[in-house]
Each structure stands twice: as structure tokens, then as C-alpha cells.
């Protein structure tokens, strides 16, 4: 992953205005394959009348019921994670490769700080959210929003971050458990850039972000948020929706 060093380099170039900153389907069965009615006939309650050569004209026509055809076992799995019912920070969705001016609400969140190398970013972020989720379960708390990552410092070989999961309210005794503490998510005016694609393709969205900030001469804080509308899966081909928030000064 190189997007964060690219972002930092782009923001440095703006000084002094900017601070450093498909679901697979199985093929239908062959036309000469026997139907379920032929291979598993329904039982009859009367002996059929063989004296007639044709159907009884007075008998009602049988109801035609469509037969579900499950996908074949060799069908390709979906590469798009299922949608989540948890809300995002801003209710109305954004458009891919577009910029929205939004206002972020302050949300109570469970926080786990960490650092990672670029090539290990996805795995370490997933591990952080897993730890937060397990801690919330032990405390009897439930997630109330999509996972967030606040990137606090970026370097050539990696970055520091605070992984967050929104909750309804912080516990009364808000101590630290398994490294997880409680606080509030960043709030206020923000610029939202929506990324739709694989995690590895997010560099292009950051290039759009840098170009937009450059053209508009917008000074931003040297930190930003990523909100994972779809879960960070293990597959590199997973199609993801990620909201990127730049926080103006």
C-alpha cells in the first residue's frame, strides 16, 4: 500500500496552503435432463384409470410451479461483501470518485491504537477490529456504526492509526481493557471522498483527493479518516466501499 505516503507527498507540495499531512450463477441443466417430477413422482391416492388414452377434460389443469435451480457447486463465489445494517457517520451515501462537504457527528467509540507496515495494513486493521469486537462483547456492548480508522502518522514504510468502532454510549467505568479505551470520533466539517473498488486500488482515490485539495487550495489537518462501509475481507479481489474523510483546518 502506498496511498498514505502519496497523500503526504501531495499535501507537502501544497505548502504553505496545506500542512503535511458479482455473484456467480450455475449453468442451467441440459434440456434432456429428467425433471424432479419424473425422478421423484408424487404419490397417488387412487388407482389411475388406464382405459382412457388422454387426459380427463373435466379435470383441472395442474398448477405450474417453477422449480428452483440451485447454482452448481463449481460456481464462482461472490466477490462483493454483503451490505451491513450498521449506519455510517453520514447517513446519505456519496458517489464514487466525487467529493461531498459533510459534517461529522461526534460518536462515542471504542479505540485501539496500533501501527503497521504498508503491506500488512489490511491484516492488522482487521485484527484490531476483532480485538475491539471481542472486548465489546465481554462488556455487553454492541457496535453502533461502521469501523473507522484514524491515521495519525504516516511514514515511508508504514503508519500509525487508531482503529475505532462506534457504540451507543461508553460504559460507566470506562477503563482500558485489552488495550481498548473509549472516547469520541473526530467531528466537524469534512470532505468525503468515496472509494469503490479493491483495497489495493484506493491509491487512485487519494490522487483525486490531492488534486481536489490542490485545485481548491484547501488547508487540511495532518490526519484523516477511513470508514469501511463494507468489511475488510481477506481477498485482494473483494470489492469494497470506503469513505475517506479529509478534515479541513
Residue 29 counted as domain residue: no
pLDDT of residue 67: 38
Backbone dihedral region for residue 188 (phi beyond 0: left; psi -120 to 50: alpha; all else: beta)? left
pLDDT of residue 21: 36
pLDDT of residue 29: 47
Q: At what angle do helices 202-216 and 3-12 cross, to 10 degrees?
A: 10
Spatial distance between the Cα atoms of 237 and 93, rounded to a whole number of angstroms: 23
Domain count, the chain: 1
pLDDT of residue 78: 39
Spatial distance between the Cα atoms of 203 and 210, rounded to a whole number of angstroms: 11
Spatial distance between the Cα atoms of 148 and 185, rounded to a whole number of angstroms: 9
pLDDT of residue 1: 53
Residue 196 counted as domain residue: yes
Cβ-proximal residues to 228 (8 Å cutoff; 6+ apart), any chain: 146, 147, 148, 149, 240, 242
All cell numbers assigned to 26: 450455475
Peptide bond into 16 cis (omega under 30): yes
DSSP state of 201: G
Q: How far apart are the first and last CA of the chain?
A: 27
pLDDT of residue 108: 96
pLDDT of residue 64: 44
Residue 143 counted as domain residue: yes
Question: 7: part of which helix (H) or strand (E)?
Answer: helix 3-12
pLDDT of residue 22: 36
pLDDT of residue 12: 47
Residue 213 counted as domain residue: yes
Residue 9 counted as domain residue: yes
**What's the CATH code of the domain at 203?**
3.20.80.10
Question: CA distances (Å), 226 to each of 125, 159, 178, 223, in order?
Answer: 11, 13, 23, 10
Residue 237 counted as domain residue: yes
Four-residue CA torsion sign, 213, 214, 218, 219: positive
Question: 213: part of which helix (H) or strand (E)?
Answer: helix 202-216
Burial state string for 62-78 with b = 16 or more CB within 10 A and e = fewer than 16: eeeeeeeeeeeeeeeee
pLDDT of residue 55: 52
**Spatial CA neighbour of 212 closest among 14, 73, 72, 9:** 14
pLDDT of residue 151: 94
Residue 23 counted as domain residue: no
Q: What is the mean pLDDT of each run of 10 residues along the chain (249 residues)?
A: 52 43 43 50 47 52 41 41 76 81 96 94 94 94 96 91 96 83 95 90 86 92 92 84 93
Q: Which domain holds residue 122?
A: 3-16+106-248
Amino acid at each position: 500500500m502506498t496511498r498514505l505516503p502519496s497523500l503526504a507527498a501531495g499535501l507537502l507540495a501544497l505548502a504553505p496552503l496545506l500542512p503535511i499531512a458479482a455473484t456467480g450463477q450455475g449453468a442451467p441443466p441440459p434440456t434432456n435432463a429428467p425433471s424432479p417430477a419424473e425422478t421423484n413422482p408424487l404419490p397417488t391416492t387412487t388407482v389411475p384409470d388406464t382405459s382412457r388414452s388422454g387426459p380427463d377434460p373435466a379435470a383441472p389443469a395442474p398448477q405450474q410451479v417453477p422449480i428452483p435451480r440451485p447454482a452448481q457447486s463449481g460456481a464462482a463465489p461472490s466477490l462483493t461483501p454483503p451490505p451491513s445494517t450498521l449506519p455510517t457517520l453520514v447517513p446519505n451515501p456519496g458517489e464514487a470518485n466525487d467529493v461531498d462537504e459533510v459534517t461529522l457527528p461526534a460518536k462515542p467509540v471504542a479505540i485501539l491504537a496500533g501501527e503497521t507496515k504498508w503491506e500488512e495494513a489490511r491484516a492488522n486493521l482487521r485484527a484490531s477490529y476483532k480485538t475491539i469486537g471481542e472486548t465489546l462483547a465481554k462488556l455487553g456492548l454492541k457496535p453502533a456504526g461502521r469501523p473507522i480508522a484514524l491515521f495519525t502518522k504516516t511514514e515511508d514504510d508504514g503508519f500509525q492509526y487508531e482503529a475505532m468502532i462506534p457504540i451507543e454510549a461508553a460504559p460507566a467505568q470506562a477503563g482500558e481493557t485489552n488495550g481498548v479505551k473509549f472516547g469520541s470520533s473526530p467531528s466537524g466539517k469534512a470532505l468525503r471522498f468515496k472509494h469503490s473498488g479493491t483495497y489495493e486500488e484506493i491509491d487512485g482515490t487519494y490522487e483525486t483527493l490531492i488534486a481536489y485539495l490542490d485545485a481548491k487550495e484547501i488547508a487540511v489537518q495532518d490526519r484523516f479518516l477511513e470508514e469501511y462501509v463494507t468489511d475488510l475481507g481477506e481477498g485482494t479481489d473483494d470489492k469494497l466501499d470506503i469513505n475517506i474523510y479529509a478534515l479541513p483546518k
